[in-house]
Amino acid sequence: MNGSPTDPVLVQQIRDLRYIDGLTCPEVALSLGVNVHTVRHLAPGRPGKVPNDLTRAIFQSSGLTACSVARKMGWMCRDGRGHMKGDGSRLRRTLGLIVESGGSHPNRTRSFRRLIDAEVAGLIAEACGHHSWEAVPDEGAVAA
């Protein structure tokens, strides 16, 4: 291995293999000769999944409504009168802004989504007027 775990080139290689190529943490660790815990720290989540916090921040700073962003992405639903509209609830669930699981049963777990598909994160960013790569974590997100 040529570099420390905080080497920007190594960090980018780890993230590319995880988020773009979709490799698992053990596969990335073996490929680059680093510890699997280092990979999990620098590129959390499941293959193809990214934390939704960057995408949520992009949406919240855009000034656009959830329905308008959903419409730009092609996420449509019918309103109470049968008219098509942007599915703002789906977007808000995806971004972890509203509860993921529905239902009123008292024992049902209610949670907020924390991970989303990297491709969906990019599409949301583009619908908000940003570049798709802005929704994927970079070396600035690495904890020291």
State the Cα–Cα distance between residues 115 and 96, nearest whole angstrom: 9
Band of residue 66 on the pLDDT scale cut at 50, 70, 90? very high
Q: What's the per-residue H, E or C state across 72-116?
A: HHCCEEECCCCCEEECHHHHHHHCCCCCCCCCCCCCCCCCCCCEE
Q: Is 62 within 8 Å of 129 (Cβ atoms)?
A: yes
What local confidence, expressed as pLDDT, does residue 143 receive? Answer: 37
pLDDT at 38 over 80: yes
pLDDT at 2 over 70: no
3: which DSSP letter? S
Residue bearing the bigger pLDDT, 114 or 59: 59
| Among candidate residues 143, 137, 140, the one with its CA nearest the CA of residue 53 | 137
State the Cα–Cα distance between residues 9 and 15, nearest whole angstrom: 10
pLDDT digits (tens, 9 = 90+) for 79-121: 889 899 999 999 999 999 998 765 666 666 678 888 888 889 9
What local confidence, expressed as pLDDT, does residue 115 receive? Answer: 87
What local confidence, expressed as pLDDT, does residue 112 receive? Answer: 87
What local confidence, expressed as pLDDT, does residue 141 receive? Answer: 47
What local confidence, expressed as pLDDT, does residue 5 receive? Answer: 54
State the Cα–Cα distance between residues 44 and 110, nearest whole angstrom: 22
State the Cα–Cα distance between residues 26 and 41, nearest whole angstrom: 13
Stated pTM of the model? 0.63
Residue bearing the bigger pLDDT, 64 or 12: 64
Band of residue 31 on the pLDDT scale cut at 50, 70, 90? very high
